[in-house]
Amino acid sequence: MTSSLPAPRTTTAQDTAKSDSLPALTQLVGWQAALMSQDTLGPAAMQLVSDLAASFGCNQVALGWWHRQRSHLLAVSAPTALGDEAGAVRAARAFEAAMDECVDQGGVVRFPEPADSTLRVTLTHAALVQSPGGDTVAVASLPLHACGRVVGALTLCWNDPQALARFEPDTLRHQLALMAPWLDLLHRHEQPLWQRAAGNVSRRWRQSSWLRRGLGAGLAVLAAGWLLWPVPHALGGRARLEGRQERSLTAPTDGFLQAVHARPGDRVRAGQPLLELAPQDLEVDARRLESEIAQHQNAYMAALARSDRAQMGLHLARSDEVGAQLQLVRRELGRTHIEAPMDALVLDGDLTRSVGMPVRRGDTLMRLTPDQAPRVVIEIDERDIDAVRPGQPARLALSALPWDTLALQVERVQPAARSVEGANVFEVEARLEPGGETGGSALRPGLTGVARIEVGRQSRLLTLGTRVADWLRLQWWRWNG
């Protein structure tokens, strides 16, 4: 019986590459595990340069971050080897210059350059090697990329001239391509909110098409023009209509309400009857006094017939006294008919359901206002009152007439503030401009709305900035004095 044996497997170039990549992959996993165990950028960068220095036998490894078109040193292995403070500053500048040279050329920069490498500018790398007092004999720098952009650079220094020949930059470049995004994520996480927003806008701007850039620039110009263009600056506040004058009708005497001829909201003419008081008691007093006058006159005539001068004078004086009382009663009888003293609008005093009720002298029965254009009272916040002056124009929009606005002119600013719903406001009196009474008879005292007073011209940005600056200044003074 013949047994078939498997043919020996031939080792190919692909198998050799896979076996060579296993140490690099294991090395990468170890670096990533150590790097991702850090949750802030500084310790993560320090961990990376320390691992690279130990793995490649470097005397120093420096990591710089690309910001505002230049490199900023972020971490360096063995920082104590830099010497004193002045030496550390010089070394940091030398590392940053080498990183800038690497980023500007967009590739690996080595010094001394291998014979088969691409010709590169190596001035700062040569200066880093030739620095006095240093033991570095070979330098290599690689750029770091994340999300399609340069985020930093890495510089490796050796004191062994053969180390650079054994260095494989392509392998390290691929390894760094998997670790740089984590460093970039930590960097963006530590940035303030406004910097992250600016970075996102800048990144989207670079990735957008020319059409979108043009539209974005146009919208930005329009927004800037809208904010910076001077426009009429107006101060707003609640407004109400009030009568220019108010008359109170009071009860002229004690009595009972007999009739009511007007109610609130009615327009009345001068001399029009409004109320009537019951005259029965006064009529009884009048007849009693007339009877007393007649008695005193009869007694006077009897004394005259007897030629009794004393009795004549007594009854004549009493007759005059009772006559004066009768005139007072008749005057009060005339006051029982209360009439409108002028053309007016009845504001208050609905007494239609109080007929027959007693009233006392001095009780307020009705309130009237002259039948003319009312005045407007505007409530302006105390923070804005300094800009209000008599004579300034204004516009009024009433809740009852929201489709129309009325022209106003400021007449007077009340000198004292009052508290309204927890805020201090000043009352500004304004009058309706001639021809601006579009509401006609609809304009009645008591209506409310919103008024805006034009105090000048300034940009919207200045208006908002002034308000914010005043608030911040007040808060600062409150806490710091």
The CB density around residue 92, as the number of other CB atoms within 10 Å, is 17
CATH number at residue 304: 2.40.50.100
In a domain, residue 272? The reply is yes
Distance between CA atoms of residues 226 and 461, nearest Å: 9
The three-class DSSP label of residue 157 is strand
Q: For the chain, what is the mean pLDDT?
A: 83
> Is residue 182 located within the same domain as residue 59?
yes
How far apart CA 214 and CA 222 sit, in angstroms, is 12
Q: Which of 369, 401, 429 is the last residue of a domain?
A: 369
User: What is the CATH number for 377?
Assistant: 2.40.30.170
CA dihedral of residues 118, 119, 121, 127 (deg, nearest 10): 90
Same domain, 363 and 406: no
Q: Judging by DSSP bridges, how do beta strands 255-260 and 358-359 pair with one another?
A: antiparallel
pLDDT tens digits for 438-451?
444 567 788 889 99
Question: Any idea which residue has 């109170």 for tokens?
Answer: 248
pLDDT for 83: 65
Range in 311-325, 349-363, 439-453, 457-471 with the lowest mean pLDDT: 439-453
33 and 182 together in one domain: yes
CA 459 – CA 469 distance, rounded (Å): 15
Q: Answer yes or no: do 137 and 86 share one domain.
A: yes
Asked whether residue 76 is assigned to any structural domain, the reply reads yes
d(CA 206, CA 147): 13
How many domains does the chain fold into?
3
Buried-exposed string 314-350: b where 16+ CB fall within 10 A, e elsewhere: ebbebbeebeebbeebeebbeebebebeeebbbbebe
pTM, two decimals, is 0.51
In-domain check, residue 125: yes
Q: What is the pLDDT of residues 236-292, one digit of tens each?
A: 889 998 877 778 888 888 888 888 888 887 888 888 888 888 887 777 888 888 888
pLDDT value at residue 436: 53
Q: Which domain holds residue 331?
A: 247-369
Does one domain contain both 374 and 327? no
Alpha carbons 190 and 199: distance in angstroms, whole number: 13
For residues 86, 88, 94 and 99, what is the CA-based torsion angle, rounded to 10 degrees?
-150
71, β-bridge pairs: 66
